[in-house]
Structure 1
Amino acid sequence: WIQTQVVRGTVGKEALLSVSYSSSSLDKPVIKWQLKRDNEKPITVVQSIGTDIIGNLRPEYRNRILVFENGSLLLHNLQLSDEGAYEVEISITDDTFTGERYIGLTVDVPVSKPYIQMMASSVLEYSEHFNLHCSHDNGTKPVYGWLKGGKVLTNDTRLQLSHDQKVLTISRVVMSDDDIYACTVENLISSMKSMPVKLTVYRRSSLYIILSTGGIFLLITLVTVCLTCWRNINTKINIQCFAVDVVPKPTTLGRRSPMPLYVLNEDVSHSFIEEKQNQYRFC
């Protein structure tokens, strides 16, 4: 004769623990609500005769409790500590039977919009252990999930979810991983989905195409110059020889025996020799 249910509550809102009873007696029922948690002593929330509360309420329930004539209990301004199993006992003087039922109450904070963090928006094919992280700022008891191309992802040999499903790991990246990803987070009272992110996968051979737009030209130029210099260094250099006429002009210069001196002709100047030397400098 007492209905039972599970109520999902939100922090700061209210929750109605609804029951009903039937009796042929005209007397008011005696109602007692208790909160029971695992491994804890039961807490008396309220006792009443009809809607008249008996005794003083605990401090945490003052100005938050309302009992209805049918035995239902209304809790205002829900707190996380209100979560648990509520037992209600309803008895009437003329009735020998006391009704007992449990109503479960969960209290949660709605989840905020999640967001994805990853090492980079692009990755090279065959890279290993590429991670995508799903995070959110607010919300109790979150449950995470992942979408790829709008379809729900589950664990497989390459796409692996962490135990709490916050992290998606691509163990070995292939071209089919080039797609749009999103993560979801939900709890008993709310659910949210992140903004989608695009993961771009480049083929290994495409690396050279990418580099050719910039640094590869510089690399090729440096290699070409160095090879040219190397060839020049290792090539036998034939330096043009040119003859100079010498005229012996014997003179004693104060010596007893004459010694010949060889003097360059005046038409071979120092500037001419320097010009020839400059022509055979290398890099």
Structure 2
Amino acid sequence: MVVFTGIYIFVYALIGCVYGVTVDLTVQPSNTIVENQIIGLNCSFERSRSTSILDPLFFWYKMVNGKKQEIGKQQGSYTEVSDKTRMAILDGVLVIHEVKRSDSGVYECEVSIVDDHPVKTTDSRNVIVFYAPSIVLPITLMVGDVLEIVCTNSNAAYPEPVLEIYKNDKAIASTNGTGTELSYTANVMVSDAGDYFCRASNEAGTKDSQTKHLSVQFIHTPSIVLTPMVGGVLEIVCTSNAYPEPALEIYMNGKGIANGTGTELNYTANVKASDAGDYFCRASNEAGTKYSQTKHLSVQYWCDSSSKVNDGKMTMLLAGVSILYGIFLLVLPVCFWLINCLQYRKERRKGM
């Protein structure tokens, strides 16, 4: 490298600044590139002397805070770059892998050929990295809350992109023309639950943000249905539409008799006199607590062993019934004999 530098200085002092070599810097696929893609900056040149045979020396610069900063150089098989993990130079082409937004800026290529004129010629291009917009929205809201979605793409693309907010793959808001920020607000309803993303579009293409899911917590007033069934069975069904799944409980006369989690709770029982009363259902989750209407159950029944008559009174009642039945059996034949006698006497009188 010492010999090379000495030759460079000697030839430069010898030939001065006579212009002849032309340099053209092109960007592939374009000077507007999408984040994480590969970009190639091709520094092509044309010699002015047919006798020029020495390898050109390529210098690559990037403007940082208004100052030119060297990021790489190459001559023949010799290559040096500032970021070896993402950059490479081959035959005057600077290749940048996995382009980041920080790669945006003005790039300059400088070509130096010691056996041609001039010693140095440069060309520059502005590279703009277009990256995905971001979307900000809450993860969980309740019905009645205010939903605010913000889509941003600040200084991310040139020209400024059109921004759109999508819900379940359907556009619900768009900038009026171009811009770097889009906001959307609404009072939350159950139907607002879904998947949201933001889209930015310009001449460079289209880029979508990450998709975010919005859950809407709610609870509707539960309903209760009392259904008497064949065989003296009572079925009670409590239902509630809610998210997340609610805790359900069935009450009789203010006392819980059944509970569970889900959108439906069933309770069955053999009907007794004590089942008469007022029934209602309660549903609760993170969105609150709701109560169904109260329904009254009346139970009609015959007095039996399940009633509130005690055993002593029931025994007396059965004994009295037995006595009356015995008397009835004794009196019945006598009644038939008397009837026959009266009929006989009546017929005799008619014969006389």
TM-score band by shorter chain is: 0.3 to 0.5
Give TM-score scaled by structure 1 length.
0.45
Q: Which has the higher contact order (CA 8 A, sep 6+)?
A: 1
Give TM-score scaled by structure 2 length.
0.38
